Structure 1
């Protein structure tokens, strides 16, 4: 099984079995939840197995586990890594094991989302954690280069638009101090645990950078997509204590984020995803309405 082939359901199950055996974890009746950026399985004993799709993901997986263990020492409510040596090399794929938060996917309230982001931004990570600096345009170039469902014309348009946004980004004066950020903070990454408490999940993008990155998606979801109401957004701002939409750099970050969301979707191979990507790029080209963008 070569890395270039990617993970199918069949090959993901083979890798999951190898990972469980190597880690000494019960992998019987493993339930495949999804195959996206990772192949994700639910295991016995309230354990979640995540398998990265690329060999180069080992360092990223190691950092996610290190971040989770640091957050645990801070009693911060986030994903907890299972207490075994990780990541596991499973047939060349990085595998990590996590404590399941809940069997249901029930999202936290916007107030709880704001509270978790605010509290995260009050933490100071030790230098030994070795967190990388936020490099948004390196990240997005990689995603653009690997997109599967973009036509050549759309890809060139997005490349030009990103060059414009980079020029704008380089001139930004950030209002908030730099520090630890989740990197993909939004309501979809704060779920309720079995006892109804909010928990921050998906630590893949955790890094050091301007705090505005953790606020822009909530504003974008409200202002451009209509996924949050005006009242919800007001509550978010009141709890966190800063309105990114009043900052001069908001448009730059918001435009970047909607392209990043589109390119993430362009990495999918389904016809439905490709159709949504074309719709989104057309809206970005023309300044069209984003309120018909479907969440994925």
Structure 2
């Protein structure tokens, strides 16, 4: 059974609306969006899971167009297609350039330099929201239905409230401003001779520390090479782990990453196992247990 049959159906209708072929569509990834390569027209299509992603999709396209004007190294919206999401049954579909094959694996120095450049840009000429990484926790848990037990749901919901309150009390070390919002190494690609920052759906105006906390979190949870966090801090020019608010932001992002897996749990034993593993580590305060990227 095709696990993304519904997303493929939405893709076919969106492609027909903009006049491109979906005949050779290949699934690249399936997370918050189903991401398809369309080699024929040389595009990538991102099909959102639901209507709740529509505003994010509109903002992502607007920011990507503005970044192109700034010559910032980021993925570009598809040329020749209106720079706006296509809505199919209220679900947004966006079209992007298909990048050439990656030249090498990105590293933390690539990410740090991209973030340093991004954080130095002027504010865009339109408002951006604050970054609320826990805003979709209930949505992700709802999508898991009965596959997530009541005790785990109550724990995650209570912890969400505690961390949201703690975040409101943080004193930043850096000036707030434009942030990527999901600055993980997986959102960097090296194409056409330079590193590019990808995936702009969580772009925001908020604490720069939100972008910086993910690398030390990934080093602990996903096993980045030894010294990755030191290299990242050196290339950016600031070590977020020495900031008093680091623990709160790391715990916030770890809770979000755990709840995010819940939407994949129904019918997926690997996701169920990983979800329960992550919840156990949060409950016990185990900050060193490795997680599996999902």
Match of 1:53 among 42, 49, 57: 49
Query: Are 2:43 and 1:74 equivalent residues in the alignment?
Result: no
* Alpha-carbon contact 1:133-1:209 (below 8 Å) kept: yes
CA distance in 2, matches of 1:248, 1:107: 32
In structure 2, the residue matched to 1:20 is: 15
* Alpha-carbon contact 2:221-2:288 (below 8 Å) kept: yes
CA distance in 2, matches of 1:230, 1:204: 30
Match of 1:134 among 121, 125, 131: 131
* Alpha-carbon contact 2:173-2:243 (below 8 Å) kept: yes
CA distance in 2, matches of 1:99, 1:69: 12
CA distance in 2, matches of 1:89, 1:166: 32
CA distance in 2, matches of 1:17, 1:238: 46
* Alpha-carbon contact 2:20-2:41 (below 8 Å) kept: no
Query: Are 2:38 and 1:40 equivalent residues in the alignment?
Result: no
CA distance in 1, matches of 2:120, 2:94: 27
How many residues were matched structurally? 287
In structure 2, the residue matched to 1:121 is: 119
Query: Are 2:198 and 1:201 equivalent residues in the alignment?
Result: yes
Q: Per the alignment, in what secondary structure is the counterpart of residue 56 of structure 1? A: helix
The two structures have a TM-score, normalised by structure 2, of 0.90
Q: 1:10 to 1:230 in 2, by over 3 A?
A: closer
The two structures have a TM-score, normalised by structure 1, of 0.90
Q: CA RMSD in A?
A: 2.0
Alpha-carbon distance, 1:160 to partner: 2.1
**Cα deviation 1:168-204 (Å, max 9, x = unaligned):** 22221111111010100011110111x3421111111
Q: Per the alignment, in what secondary structure is the counterpart of residue 227 of structure 2? A: helix
* Alpha-carbon contact 1:22-1:90 (below 8 Å) kept: no
In structure 2, the residue matched to 1:4 is: none
* Alpha-carbon contact 1:111-1:235 (below 8 Å) kept: yes
CA distance in 2, matches of 1:106, 1:205: 25
**Cα deviation 1:75-112 (Å, max 9, x = unaligned):** 11111001322211234421111001234595311111
Alpha-carbon distance, 1:154 to partner: 1.1
Match of 1:182 among 149, 158, 180: 180
In structure 2, the residue matched to 1:110 is: 108
* Alpha-carbon contact 1:179-1:208 (below 8 Å) kept: yes
* Alpha-carbon contact 2:137-2:256 (below 8 Å) kept: yes
CA distance in 2, matches of 1:68, 1:206: 10
Q: 1:290 to 1:267 in 2, by over 3 A?
A: farther
In structure 1, the residue matched to 2:273 is: 275
CA distance in 2, matches of 1:9, 1:103: 24
CA distance in 2, matches of 1:170, 1:158: 18
In structure 2, the residue matched to 1:253 is: 249
